Structure 1
């Protein structure tokens, strides 16, 4: 990063934070504290009102705002593609905001930059499948849950699990305190404190029904931070399959969530999965057909065999 870029970045950091020490800025920009001192002096000489408090750090004078910044072609393309992504993946509210943002960004770009950004952007496309476009209900739920999170209100919904519980039921009614939303492998997932399980649980929006927002309030725990949250890993069962060479690419491209290792062998692939229940892989294994063989556990081999026998009887 050259000096000009660093000076601009320092002002942006000071705008985002009340007070920053020279040591903090030096660590941020991977330079020396002495260099930061010189940069602050250069900013002051350029008319940026930086205030230094001994023992505390630097801050901007209240009311100071950075004049409008210019974008390079690459930066403009990044922002415009970002608005495309928001329009496709978020709810209608943010979808409309992304369109107005795109218009504003294009309006302030100098004509040469706008033309070049348009030319480059034409070479990219974020393709939404018909299945994603059809997720109207999921987008409606996304907006409702987002509002509930901001207002710290609980929600209730009927939830359908892919695999039945011990009692044989796949559906249950859940009342939860919504903590945050995560876009994972193309699907929106709610992280929430579930009253039924008395613990944090994950819920795919695509499996929700009859969602309603309640007036009951909740308080986000002080020690919960979505950006660093890691769910406990309780996938303790390993499943190994052998894949024939003619469908090896198909299995790799499936990018199954439960995949742990993929090893190349002369006779194909040896793939190891780690799951909570082997049944979580049943549909995938059946979908790959005769091109795969379950090696272990034996109980899952039997489960696949039983399913195939049931299918054969239907034909």
Structure 2
């Protein structure tokens, strides 16, 4: 995800928060708050409308939300909540302090409307996800969403994994944490090797999230590093 995309996602989130907390919001005030042109704000409002947000325009006054509209908890699936948590980790690496503060405040308001079960899982994922900024990062896997789900629900995962020597093995793993440094990495307990191992999602050839549960590993990510690194 490019920096401009991250900024736009955070701005759309913050604009929606403004619309939910104020009776009328003007394009001029939003333009000044986010330091963008009014034309950019007009495009953002259209993007929210296309996403199903009932934004109404009051002639000569500004924008308002349809009476009674609020983002209901059911609007966010667990996977969508996980995606927001991951985006938050990317944003927190921004060097603009005000940008980080605005996004963090918006995320706190979004988290407040999650169902309690999703809140707990979102907080767990936030604690178990670490992102180190990498330049020119390319999309090289499509497993992260399912791995996030397995991590927060303690589901055993069966994978066919190819190591750096090109050797394929079938394994059952217990996802523990997700990291990023140039590539995405999964820390998981490998039942085949009977120890924690690092896995690159782009080397997972096949993957099934099983219904079987595993016993949660009762330690934080920092405690893992202290113990194993």
TM-score, length of structure 2 as denominator length: 0.45
Between 1 and 2, higher relative CO (CA 8 Å, sep ≥ 6) is seen in 2
Greater Rg by CA: 1
Q: TM (normalized to structure 1)?
A: 0.34
